[in-house]
Amino acid sequence: MTRNLFAKMSLLYLFLTIVRSAPLNPPVQVQPKYQVASEKFHQEPNLEYTFEQEFTNGEKFAEDGKLKTVNGMNVIVTKGSYTINNPDGTETIVNYTADEEGFHPEIITPTSG
Ligand X SMILES: *[C@@H]1O[C@H](CO)[C@@H](O)[C@H](O)[C@H]1NC(C)=O
Interface with ligand X (CB under 6 A): 81, 93, 95, 108
Q: Which is nearer to ligand X, 50 or 76 (CB)?
A: 50
Nearer to ligand X, 76 or 95 (CB): 95
CA distance 51 to 37: 14
Nearest-approach distance from CB 96 to ligand X, in angstroms = 9
Return d(Cα 15, Cα 1) in angstroms, integer.
21
The least distance separating ligand X from the CB of residue 60, rounded to whole angstroms, comes to: 9
Q: How far is the CB of 100 from ligand X (least distance, A)?
A: 21
